[in-house]
Structure 1
Amino acid sequence: MQVIGLCRFSYPALGGFQIGHETVEERIAYLYAEERIEERFRLFETIALPCLKEQTDQDFDLILVTGDSLPRMHRDRLHDLTAGMPQVQIRAEPPRRHRDVMKELINQARRDHDQPCLQFRHDDDDAVSVDFVERLRAVTEDCRPLMRKNRSVAIDFNRGFIAQAGPKGIAAAEGVHPYFVAALGMHVRRGCPLTIMNFGHHKINRFMPTVTLTDAPMFVRTHNRFNDSRDTDAWQPGLTTLTPEQAGEFEARFAIRTSHVKEAFGSGCAAQARSLRAWRRSR
């Protein structure tokens, strides 16, 4: 069964953001401002990508959506970061209605509409467990009668971590948070044109049956300076720096390496900025 993931990387959609902008130009300027885009790349490289690279089931497709106005230096960097991932298809799209373009891209990625598929969203600053794709398939098999009877069924792994990345590494708090984007999947029956982007993630249980699993931590959702939204109850827990034992568990479960995070957000951050300025002077 085909598994399709969708990840937006600073795509200047019309709609789809809780932070409002008067014009598309204002949104593009906000998304590609140096301070913001640098933080997104650091989170993408240290949090969002490693877990996908190390999935125990590598048979999935990932649509990485960005804007056709993304500056060349950032576009090149995005291609470099994903060069070793055959699952990734980068789509540079002009500004369009958010849900319309995302639904269209997912359905274009379906290789056979006469077969069912699994879909998930993946934010560019979050992580899922390295066995997320494997477990999506397993749950589908366990619940096959339910999947056959319904056009779509959501699969929600709702235990995970709220976390913050910084020069000292990772601070986190474990909790149960239903219907986050991270570690939420959807089974779509054959012949059905629905996609996971037809539904707001927090409201998905209003439109279809959902299977909920709370047995193990399956996601890391980061708290950072440029979150588009902060759910009131999601951001309340106190975050504590990971112990060495917990850091080892994060690496094993999410492929998040404390040394990598410290380098990206610490001294490596300054070096990266100097490299970027040198690149611009050479153009």
Structure 2
Amino acid sequence: MQVIGLCRFSYPAEGGFQVEHDDTAARAAYLYAPERLDERFRHFETICLPGLAAQTDPDFTFVILVGEDLPAVARARLDALLSGLPQARVVARAPGPHRKVCQEVLNAARDDIRAPCLQFRHDDDDAVAVDFVETLRRTARDAAPIVDAHRLVGLDWGRGFVARPDACGLAAEEVVHPYWGVAQAVAVRGGVRQSIMNFGHQKLNRFMPTLTFCDRPMYVRGHNDHNDSRQAKHVAPVALPRLDAAGEALFAERFAIDADRVRAVFAGT
């Protein structure tokens, strides 16, 4: 079964953000601000990409949705970072309705719209475990009676870490938070054009049967000042403990995140 991941890299959509803007031009200006983009790239390089590049099952497609007006210097930096990930495809689109555009991009990435597929959403500052694709595909096979009986079935892994990278390495703690939108997938029946992006990640179980698993850490949820979910005034800062050597070794083994590389990339920030 085809596995497709979708990452929106600073795509100036209509809707889809908790931070409001007057129009897509104002949103693009916010998203493309040099300081913000630089932070997104640092997280993308050190947190997001390593685990994808190290997947034990490399048979997946990873689509990165960007705006057509993404600054040329940023697009070149993005292409350079993706050179080591053959599964990656960059798709540039003009601003449009968030859910509609994401649905179109996911359906265009399907090898055969008549065949079933597995879709996962992925933010540019998050990570999945190195066996995520393998586990996802195996779980869909194990749950075949349920998957075959429904148009859409949610598959969600709720145990992971929230982490903040910086020049000193990684501060992180383990959490159990189902339906958080990372390490979350939907099994889509062949011929169905709805996608994982047609549904809010925290409301997935309102619209389809879901299976949740919390047996082992499957994700890292990035924590930084530019998280869209952290821009509201009522959101309090989160104090995270510094990882020790054993914690850094776990992150390297489970997510291919190299704490030394994090320190080097974030040096001086």
Q: Is the 8 A contact 2:163 2:220 kept in 1?
A: yes
* TM-score (normalised: structure 1): 0.91
Q: Is the 8 A contact 1:173 1:238 kept in 2?
A: no
1:29 corresponding residue in structure 2: 29
8 Å CA contact 2:6–2:106 kept in 1: the answer is: yes
Whole-angstrom CA distance in 2 between matches of 1:3 and 1:230: 30
Partner of 1:162: 162
CA distance in structure 2 between the partners assigned to 1:231 and 1:251 by the alignment: 30
Q: Distance in 1 between matches of 2:84 and 2:220?
A: 23
Q: What is residue 69 of structure 1 aligned with on the other side?
A: 69
* Structure 1 residues 174 and 237: alpha-carbon distance in aligned structure 2, compared to 1, 3 A threshold: farther
Larger radius of gyration: 1
Shift of 1:236: 7.6
Structure 1 pair 173–236 and aligned structure 2 pair: CA distance change class (3 A): farther
- The TM-score with structure 2 as length reference comes to 0.96
> Relative to 1, partners in 2 of residues 1:236 and 1:28: Cα closer, same or farther, differing over 3 Å?
closer
Aligned to 2:39: 39
Partner Cα separation in structure 1 for residue 117 and residue 236 of structure 2: 33
Q: 2:118 maps to what in 1?
A: 118
Which residue is equivalent to 1:278?
Answer: none
Q: One-letter code of the match for 1:213?
A: F
Deviates more, 1:81-90 or 1:123-132: 81-90
Identity of aligned residues (%): 51
Structure 1 gap segments, 5+ residues each:
270-283
Partner of 1:248: 249
What amino acid maps onto 1:117 in structure 2? C
Please list the CA deviations of residues 129-161 of structure 1 after superposition, one character each: whole Å capped at 9, or x if unmatched.
Answer: 000000001111111100011101000000001
The 5 Å alignment of 1:210-225 reads 210-225=210-225
Q: Tell me the distance in 2 between the aligned counterparts of 1:204 and 1:192.
A: 16
Deviations 1:176-233 (Å, cap 9, x if unpaired)?
101011100110111211210110000000011111111000000011010101499x
Report how far residue 237 of structure 1 moved.
Answer: 6.3
Distance in 1 between the 2:261 and 2:175 partners? 24
* CA displacement at 1:114 relative to structure 2: 2.2
> 1:84: Cα distance to partner?
2.2
Other-structure match for 1:274: none
Q: Distance in 2 between matches of 1:178 and 1:56?
A: 24
Shift of 1:92: 1.1
Q: Secondary structure at the match of 2:84?
A: coil
The RMSD of aligned alpha carbons is: 1.6
| 2:260 is the counterpart of 1:259 | yes
Q: Take 2:237 and 2:149, find their aligned partners in 1: how far apart are those partners?
A: 39
- Number of residue-to-residue matches in the alignment: 267
| Residue in 2 that maps onto 1:175 | 175
Query: Aligned partners of 1:184, 1:205: CA distance in 2, in Å?
Result: 12
1:51 aligns with 2:48: no
Superposed CA offset, 1:220-274 (max 9, x none) = 0011010101499x9786411111011001001001110011111114x5xxxxx
- Contact 2:158–2:213, Cα closer than 8 Å, also in 1: yes
